[in-house]
Amino acid sequence: MRTKIAIRSLLFSFALLVFSHGAFAQIGIGVSVNFGPPALPVYEQPICPDDGYLWTPGYWAYDDGDGYYWVPGTWVEAPQVGFLWTPGYWGWGGSAFSFHEGYWGSEVGFYGGINYGFGYGGVGYEGGRWDGGHFSYNTYVNRVNTTIIHNTYNTRVMDVSETHVSYNGGSGGIEARPTAQQESYASQHHIGPVAAQTQHVHAARSNPELRASANHGKPPIGATAKPGDFKTGVVASKEAGGEYKAPPAKAAGGNEARPENEARSGTDNRTENATGARPNTNNHATELQTHTFTPPNTGNAATDKKYQQQQNKLVAQQTQDHQKLQQQQEKEHQQATQKNYNETQKQPMEQRHAQQTQQLEQKHATQQKQMEQRQAPRQTAPKQESRPPAEKH
């Protein structure tokens, strides 16, 4: 194992969020959809690429334009010695399914009771443990080359269920509730997904074959050996986890956080702002999503690499902006709760939060457009055809 593991993500601490019946205190709750994701596909785990990498299970993410798409499971280098991964999950909140972002911390918290497999059986993590600064792998549930990685053990893990249900609550969902101890983990020091994970999601989102509408719950890439690499060490899905059900009529763009097909009160969803994007309707930083870029494809590998690094840097900065604003807004929410503010007293704060969030999103949209313009292929003006001077008559 490497003696030093670089911290590649931004540190932040979010307060517990209180939701209505069926939702839980958790971290990074953003996009909401009015219909649940497909079942988890069946796939094998790639061999661990190196010491210090931890398994992060695959899951269904959501995009307004393309619907649900599969984010393959992958091995990720731990951002800090002693940190474990708590997977994200979809949970029913009474009127919609919301995605609860995963995070790195010293303990594995609540992840909806979802059986992601490979040590994530619904509660805690049995795929390995930290021991003296080294991560030891449980080879009963992990594929590890023991001739290279020697810090291993083998402890039988009992699968509590064979279900492939991918969401908590609602019709047909997992009926699990967080314990007080699991809730306490969410308030401890932790960090969000590292840059490699963010880029992994971007790569999945840009792959049309990973959309549920195209693969019907059986994505061609079930898992990868390393994040963002969809060519080396790729493992295909064996089968869909259950019968695929197409989205209900008019469900496309059903993202309650940023609806595409319905105008909010007092807005026109056909109007575009100065950046060419639709007006921002997010009212809190928790509703903001990570921005994505079209992968550079200039035909020059060195230029593409340079442009990708620029994009990664901007995404990391914008993610930090989201986290700082969310932390600030949640702190104000806590203070309002402690002071027992009524709805009239809360109104100015909510208006301020909406303005802050929309201004930040507009700033990010402008930054993204400017970068895309800088990285756009330059068109060379065609040379004018030289003609002989006209004859004089």
Among residues 121, 156, 120, which one has the least CA distance to residue 138? 156
- Overall pTM > 0.85: no
| Residues 295, 256 within the same domain | no
Residue 357 pLDDT more than 90?
A: no
Same domain, 197 and 343: no
Question: 125 and 212 in contact (C-beta within 8 Å)?
Answer: no
Q: What is the CA radius of gyration of the chain?
A: 23
Closest to 166 measured CA to CA, from 244, 274, 275: 244
Tally of structural domains, the chain: 2
Dihedral sign (CA 11, 205, 185, 130): negative
Can you give the pLDDT at residue 323?
A: 80
Residue 345 lies in domain: 280-372
State the residue for tokens 């009926």.
175
pLDDT at 286 over 80: no
Does 105 map to a domain?
Answer: yes
My answer on whether 166 and 75 are in the same domain is: yes
Strand bridging mode 97-100 / 134-138: unpaired
- Verify that 5 and 147 share a domain, yes or no: yes
| Residues 304, 210 share a domain | no
CB atoms inside a 10 Å sphere around CB 377: 10
pLDDT at 291 (0 to 100)? 67
The 8-class DSSP code of residue 216 comes to T
Confidence check: pLDDT of 359 > 50: yes
Q: With cut-offs at 50, 70 and 90, classify the pLDDT of residue 375.
A: confident
Residue 53 CA to residue 274 CA, distance in Å, equals 43
In a domain, 232, yes or no: yes
Distances, alpha carbon 220 to alpha carbons 27, 42, 63, 210, in Å: 30, 11, 19, 7
Mean pLDDT in the chain?
Answer: 78
- Give domain status of residue 266, yes or no: no
By the 8 A CB rule, do 84 and 104 touch? yes
Q: Are residues 256 and 290 in the same domain?
A: no
Pick the range with the lowest mean pLDDT from 47-61, 202-216, 264-278, 350-364. Answer: 264-278
What are 119-173's pLDDT values in tens digits? 999 999 999 999 989 999 999 999 999 999 999 999 998 765 578 999 999 889 9
Contacts 24+ apart (CB under 8 A), 232-235: 233/46, 233/47, 233/49, 234/46, 234/72, 235/43, 235/44, 235/45, 235/46
Which of 205, 232, 261 terminates a domain? The answer is 261
121 in any annotated domain: yes
Percent of the chain with pLDDT over 70: 75
Say if residue 92 is in the same domain as residue 236: yes
189/305 same-domain check:
no
Closest Cα partner for 190 from 76, 106, 100, 307?
A: 106
Residue 333's pLDDT is: 73
Residue 33's nearest CA partner among 110, 90, 102, 89 is: 90
Residue 127 lies in a domain: yes
User: Do 64 and 140 lie in a common domain?
Assistant: yes
Domain annotation covers residue 275? no
Residues 183, 219: one domain? yes
Q: Are residues 23 and 99 in the same domain?
A: yes
The reply to whether 188 falls in a domain is yes
What is the rounded CA–CA span in Å between residue 271 and residue 267?
8
